[in-house]
A and B are shown apart, each in its own frame.
Chain A
């Protein structure tokens, strides 16, 4: 359960995020959409305690994220390429994250085996450093790394961007599988309305930092969103 209370983030006079109340129940697959500058990444950064809220707070499973670090063991995320360590090979990176999350090599290997399809033979055993991989392949590595260590909350910022069509379709499957697990909450942001409506049970639309729509996904949702964004 992730509860956001009176959360605001201001830079100078400009309010970039203002969420009065938002509850994301455990196990929900939650989608965040909005145009550039709507506050999606700001919200995720606040949730990960990477920036400080101007007021209010977020509780992640009962832990207030900006005062305690207890949320870290059960939360994992991939925001952008800066989450990767460029001078490691993908394997080394996975093992490193595994180490941090209390998983040994065998655990990590077992997890990676499940993503063979997703990797499409372009990640493992390439003898390349992460910095030398293409943007799309870097993203694949980062996304899979966020699944290491059985996290209960998974945060993915724009996971579909930069991926090829095949990988996008596979990723949708992976996120659906993950969300189907009872205790895993998945938070995804995207510019692609079709993808989000497909994988998320609930979609929140942000506009200039404000929550303007909170939709339980149904067959009409895509239409509704398209009408909204067509403005």
Chain B
């Protein structure tokens, strides 16, 4: 039976809509995946030496044990978003003579082979190999690795259990923040508290039984839960979300555009993929911290231009690149309705403009790292407003891939085509090149002024540009309708 299931799984993977992507996207994604794995493996190798370097007076094993608790919590936190229990696929089996226990074991067993579990191994296996070369005992290291695998599986199954509630996520986030806070302000050393516990997994090989027992226990709980839930009306049925209607009356003040703006806001708020897009965009405000805090980048002005364009334009590119595919599931209705296409586009432009201004306001605190940061972000925000918005709307007319709104955005390549990569060129690279050119030729001030002036010029020509974009959408209409109709593309 398991073999049959596995072969179905295999088919569903190779025949999945995402797999049929254009070759260019596949190759790019392939490169990206390989790159990620190599980076992880390299980190695994390097960690030993880095830890030794940072904490010369303690064993790297001890250091890594200190951070283990954070790794577990953070991994749980991220998995909440990324990994879902794939129960929907078993619907066709309910009426076939397959035992429920087999189905439950299969679902759970399958999730053990999830890519997220492999990711951690790509880090820990190289780390262990380095340990062996450094003369750590073979028995201890190999059993430690077994413990780690058990912990990873434990994380995997805990996630499946808690995945149904948002409360668990909030609780997790709070715990991480509190623990880190305690550590950071020196109130209580969480690291030192947990270090001996996790270090024991290495020091006393027999303790390997503890994580294994825990993993088995959690697996069993999952199994129990799932076994009772394999009914059409229990877990298999997608949740009917209680609606929260707000009439957004203020949008009416914007006239015709208000109708569409209201629709867009509802779309963003009521669909998983768009909603997470907003959260991700907000999180990217902190992206700057990675670079501003490091001395190497302090003098690297083009890097700051990248940050400026990227941070103020994150929603612009995340959301904008898929316009109008967001509306793909009802695009033929839109096109047969009495819709002023121009107003439709204007409302999207307004929404993105607001996001750019908002993101700029959020990045103001970076002025702490020097006035250039603020000035560059300002210039980039203007450029995003004036130039990038019409550009991204224009490229939107090449979108022909359907998007199902209620699927999770993580690892979801729906709607992605080579177009999405090409779009990055004008949106991200061009402003950085312009900035770099004027920065090296004249000065930072000049470069910022050039970007700002281009942005203002774009704003002044907004009407003209949107007219052109509207014409383009008219021309591409039939292709878009046909493309959006194809559910599996």
Q: What's the Cα separation between A96 and B247 when bound, in Å?
A: 11
Residues on A with beta carbons closer than 8 Å to the beta carbon of B362 = none
Q: What's the Cα separation between A62 and B123 when bound, in Å?
A: 70
A132 adjacent to B240 (CB under 8 Å): yes
User: Closest residue of chain A to B332, judged by CB?
Assistant: A50
Given contacts A82-B329, A85-B330, A100-B339, contact A51 B245 (CB under 8 A): no
Distance in Å: Cβ of A65 to nearest Cβ of chain B: 10
Distance in Å: Cβ of B178 to nearest Cβ of chain A: 36
A87 adjacent to B270 (CB under 8 Å): yes
B307 within 8 A of A: no
Residues on A with beta carbons closer than 8 Å to the beta carbon of B485 = 82
B-facing mask of A60-88, CB < 8 A → 1, else 0?
A: 00000000000011011101001111111
B482 adjacent to A51 (CB under 8 Å): yes
B336 adjacent to A92 (CB under 8 Å): no
User: Closest residue of chain A to B479, judged by CB?
Assistant: A52
B337 adjacent to A87 (CB under 8 Å): no
For the complex with contacts A50-B332, A85-B333, 10 further pairs of A-B residues with Cβ separation under 8 Å are A49-B336, A51-B482, A72-B338, A82-B332, A84-B330, A86-B330, A86-B405, A87-B267, A92-B266, A96-B262
B1 within 8 A of A: no
Q: What's the Cα separation between A102 and B340 when bound, in Å?
A: 12
A132 adjacent to B241 (CB under 8 Å): yes
Residues on B with beta carbons closer than 8 Å to the beta carbon of A89 = 243, 245
125-173 of chain A: CB within 8 A of chain B = 127-129, 131-132, 149
User: Closest residue of chain A to B478, judged by CB?
Assistant: A52
Residues on B with beta carbons closer than 8 Å to the beta carbon of A48 = 332, 335-336
Q: What's the Cα separation between A215 and B335 when bound, in Å?
A: 32
B271 within 8 A of A: yes
A24 within 8 A of B: no
B243 adjacent to A127 (CB under 8 Å): yes
B-facing mask of A88-118, CB < 8 A → 1, else 0?
A: 1101100011011110000000000000000
Distance in Å: Cβ of B323 to nearest Cβ of chain A: 16
Residue ranges of B at the interface with A (Cβ–Cβ < 8 Å):
240-243, 245, 259, 262-263, 266-267, 270-271, 329-333, 335-339, 405-406, 478, 481-482, 485
Distance in Å: Cβ of B251 to nearest Cβ of chain A: 10
Q: What's the Cα separation between A82 and B487 when bound, in Å?
A: 11
- Pairs across A and B, CB under 8 Å, 8 listed: A49-B335, A51-B481, A75-B336, A82-B331, A85-B263, A89-B243, A127-B243, A129-B270
User: Closest residue of chain B to A97, judged by CB?
Assistant: B337
Residues on A with beta carbons closer than 8 Å to the beta carbon of B266 = 87-88, 92
**Which among B271, B330, B335, B478 has the highest number of chain A CB atoms within 10 Å?**
B330
Given contacts A86-B405, A92-B266, contact A51 B478 (CB under 8 A): yes
Q: What's the Cα separation between A77 and B337 when bound, in Å?
A: 8
Q: What's the Cα separation between A82 and B334 when bound, in Å?
A: 10
Given contacts A51-B482, A131-B406, contact A84 B333 (CB under 8 A): yes
User: Closest residue of chain B to A45, judged by CB?
Assistant: B332
Distance in Å: Cβ of A68 to nearest Cβ of chain B: 12
Residues on B with beta carbons closer than 8 Å to the beta carbon of A96 = 259, 262-263
A87 adjacent to B333 (CB under 8 Å): no
User: Closest residue of chain A to B245, judged by CB?
Assistant: A89
8 A-B pairs with the lowest CB-CB distances in the bound complex, closest first = A83-B333, A87-B270, A48-B336, A99-B259, A72-B338, A132-B240, A85-B330, A127-B243
User: Closest residue of chain A to B487, judged by CB?
Assistant: A82
B332 adjacent to A79 (CB under 8 Å): yes
